[in-house]
Copies of this chain bind each other. A is one copy, B any other.
Amino acid sequence: MQLLDGKKLTAEMKQEIASEVAAFKAAGGKTPHLAAILVGHDGGSETYVAGKVKACAEVGIKSTLVRFEEQVTEKELLLKIAAMNDDADIDGLIVQLPLPPHIAERHVIEAIDIRKDVDGFHPMNIGRMVIGIPSYLSATPAGILEILKRYNIPTAGKSCVVVGRSNIVGKPVSILLSRKGYPGDATVTLCHSRTVNLKDITRQADILIAAMGKPEFIRADMVKEGAVVIDVGITRMKSEVTKSGWKLIGDVKFDEVAPHCSYITPVPGGVGLLTVVALLKNTLLSAKKTIYP
Q: Which of B179, B185, B190, B195 contacts A157 (CB 8 A)?
A: B195
Other than the given A106-B133, A127-B127, 4 more pairs (CB < 8 A) read A123-B133, A131-B171, A157-B195, A171-B178
A-B contact pairs, 27 of them (CB 8 A): A123-B123, A123-B126, A123-B127, A123-B130, A123-B131, A123-B135, A124-B127, A126-B126, A127-B127, A127-B128, A127-B130, A130-B167, A130-B172, A130-B175, A157-B194, A157-B195, A157-B196, A174-B190, A178-B190, A178-B192, A186-B194, A187-B189, A187-B194, A187-B196, A187-B201, A188-B190, A189-B189
Q: Report whether A191 and B187 are in contact in the complex, using a CB–CB cutoff of 8 Å.
A: yes
**Is A275 located at the chain interface by the 8 A CB criterion?**
no
**Is A222 located at the chain interface by the 8 A CB criterion?**
no
- Among residues of B, the one whose C-beta sits closest to the C-beta of A201 is B187
Interface string of A171-184 (1 = CB under 8 A from B): 11011001110000
Given A130-B127, A167-B131, A178-B165: A190 and B187 within 8 A (CB)? yes
Give chain B nearest CB distance to A136 CB in angstroms.
12
A135 to B106, CA, bound (A): 13
Size bin of chain A's contact surface: 35 or more
Q: In the assembled complex, which residues on chain B have CB atoms less than 8 Å from the CB atom of A171?
A: 130-131, 175, 178
Q: Report whether B192 and A187 are in contact in the complex, using a CB–CB cutoff of 8 Å.
A: yes
A135 to B124, CA, bound (A): 12
Q: In the assembled complex, which residues on chain B have CB atoms less than 8 Å from the CB atom of A33?
A: none
- Among residues of B, the one whose C-beta sits closest to the C-beta of A192 is B178
Which chain A residues numbered 109 to 167 have a C-beta less than 8 Å away from chain B? 122-128, 130-133, 135, 156-159, 165, 167
- Among residues of B, the one whose C-beta sits closest to the C-beta of A171 is B130
A130 to B195, CA, bound (A): 19
Q: Which 7 pairs between the two chains have the least Cβ-Cβ distance?
A: A123-B127, A127-B127, A126-B127, A189-B189, A185-B194, A157-B196, A187-B195
